[in-house]
Amino acid sequence: MCNINSKTRVFAVIGSPIEHSISPEIHNSSFSELKLNYVYVAYRVERLYLREAVEGFKALGYSGVNVTIPHKIEIMSYLEEISPESKEIGAVNTIVFKNSRATGYNTDGTGALLALREAGVKVENSRVVILGYGGAARAIAITLAMRGNIESIAIAGRNVKKAGTLAEDIKKLGIPAQSCSITGVENIIKDSNILINSTPVGMSPETEETLLTREKLHSELAVMDIVYTPLETRLLKEAKKAGCRTVDGLGMLIHQAAEAERLWLGVEPDISVMRNAAMKALKLS
């Protein structure tokens, strides 16, 4: 971390709760590596004060802010501009402050896309299956539809109606999409190239839970789990047994943070430094 002085630029993450966030460790390590006189802090902000928080960041000259639960949707009402992709997603997790104006972006989907590519997964012209239909699923699906050059997306969930709503929104972007139940996803997986679990199933402490086992997977499938505690979930273990290429959830976490820095600073952060900081914060190294 830099030696804070009158020239230090401040960045932050807001949410409630916020004590669990490892964003300060990730970004401060990156700023240090880039030799920038910047500091990144975490603030617990309740919904009642969300508007005031945004105005306060402007008044104090903050350069950028991340937004986490439960404010990703409501924060949009207090921003002057919202990126086209964020409008489609319906949520913002990154704010850029410039000339007293706040612009909202969503880097979650980009994080997933870049994590897949970093792992050597061919995204273009792929048939993708996403397990889940929540905020993370929506961000990933919309980003893949808008920028992944994919062939199709299938949304699988326990509530088929909610899965269908997301599938219909994807169709509006010109990408073929369908929905199904978790129990009915096996037949779709047979003809798919990428499987992404966007649900919390398998997250610590319920580490033995999984929506799919090796028998429903195949060796030509790349399997990504956005859960990163544990780093290797039960789903990824099952995928390895089936001969699949696997991608853990830490990649998405790191790449969404790196994309935020690109938006704020216009520089290329060191992904390995950010990853090492996250591993240390999560006690995985």
Count how many Cα atoms sit within 13 Å of the Cα of residue 168 in the half-sphere of its side chain.
6
Say which CATH superfamily domain 9-105+252-281 falls into. Answer: Leucine Dehydrogenase, chain A, domain 1 (3.40.50.10860)
Same fold, 9-105+252-281 and 109-248: yes
Contact of 244 with 217, CB cutoff 8 Å: yes
Decide: helix, strand or coil at residue 59.
helix
pLDDT value of position 1: 59
Name the burial class of residue 174, with classes exposed (0-12), middle (13-18) and buried (19+) by CB atoms within 10 angstroms of its CB.
exposed
Q: How far is CA 59 from CA 9, 62, 77, in A?
A: 13, 8, 18
What's the CA gap between 81 and 210, in Å, rounded? 39
pTM, to two decimals: 0.94
Q: How far is CA 123 from CA 26, 187, 221, in A?
A: 27, 20, 12
What letter would DSSP give residue 150? -
Tens-place pLDDT, residues 84-103: 999 999 999 999 999 989 99
Active site residues: 72
Contact of 257 with 274, CB cutoff 8 Å: yes
Helix residue ranges per DSSP H, 172-249? 186-189, 234-241
What's the CA gap between 106 and 234, in Å, rounded? 28
What's the CA gap between 145 and 157, in Å, rounded? 19
Degrees, nearest 5: CA angle 2-112-262: 35
Count CB-CB contacts under 10 A for residue 121. Answer: 18
Tens-place pLDDT, residues 198-252: 999 999 999 999 999 999 999 999 999 999 999 999 999 999 999 999 999 999 9
Q: Which of 77-81, 131-135, 281-285 has the lowest mean pLDDT?
A: 281-285
Contact of 185 with 221, CB cutoff 8 Å: no
Q: Where are the domains of the chain?
A: 9-105+252-281, 109-248
Say which CATH superfamily domain 109-248 falls into. Answer: NAD(P)-binding Rossmann-like Domain (3.40.50.720)
Residue type, 147: R
pLDDT above 80 for 2: no
